[in-house]
Amino acid sequence: MAKAYSDDLRQKLIQAHQQGDGSLPVLAQRFHVSVGWARKVSAAFYRSGSWARPSSGPRGPRSKFSEEIRRQLSEWIEEQPDLTLQQLQSRLRGELGLKASIGRLWSVLREMGLGLKKSRSSAPSRMSPPSRSGVSR
């Protein structure tokens, strides 16, 4: 992945442009940067007054699962702990108008620290554990 140019280079480019040492295309060639980058840095400087690189925000789209929706999910699960993912998905769509896949819903529940409830009342597996020799009886 490419590294970002240093703040020092940004500062030198802007200072040279302010001193009238050349146009942005000429300075871009002198500093071995693209004209587009030079224009972007110059515009950002005139907008903000700072040549420092702006801090980057969160990447990607925002999650549909806001804190309010996560609280609602927690309440539903607290009221009825044996809700299935399909039931939660239906309630989200019906009551909150939120469409989400089962996989995404499962990921959100894991992020929230909620897991799949394992039923202790189900019958044990009929399959016998494999023998050490690898031959089943």
pLDDT in tens, 118-134: 555 556 667 766 666 65
Integer Cα distance of 43 and 47 in angstroms: 6
Render the burial of 117-130: b for 16+ CB within 10 Å, e for the rest.
eeeeeeeeeeeeee
Question: How high is the pLDDT of residue 131?
Answer: 64
Give pLDDT, residue 88. Answer: 93
Residue 121's SS3 state is: coil
pLDDT of the chain along its 137 residues, tens only?
A: 577 788 889 999 999 999 999 999 999 999 999 999 999 999 988 888 887 777 777 778 888 999 999 999 999 999 998 889 999 999 999 999 999 999 999 999 999 988 665 555 556 667 766 666 655 55
Q: Which long-range contacts (CB under 8 A, 24 or more apart) does 49-57 make?
A: 51/7, 51/10, 51/11, 51/14, 52/7, 52/10, 53/4, 53/7, 53/10
Contact 9, 31 (CB under 8 A): yes
Spans of all domains in the chain: 7-48, 67-111
| Contact between residue 63 and residue 73 where contact means Cβ atoms under 8 Å apart | no
* Token output for 77: 């699960």
Give phi and psi for 132, each to the nearest 5: -70, -25
State the pLDDT at residue 1.
57
- Among 90, 112, 86, which residue's Cα sits nearest to residue 99? 90
Q: What is the rounded distance in angstroms from the CA atom of residue 78 to the CA atom of residue 76?
A: 5
pLDDT at 39: 94
Tokens 């030079």 sit on residue = 38
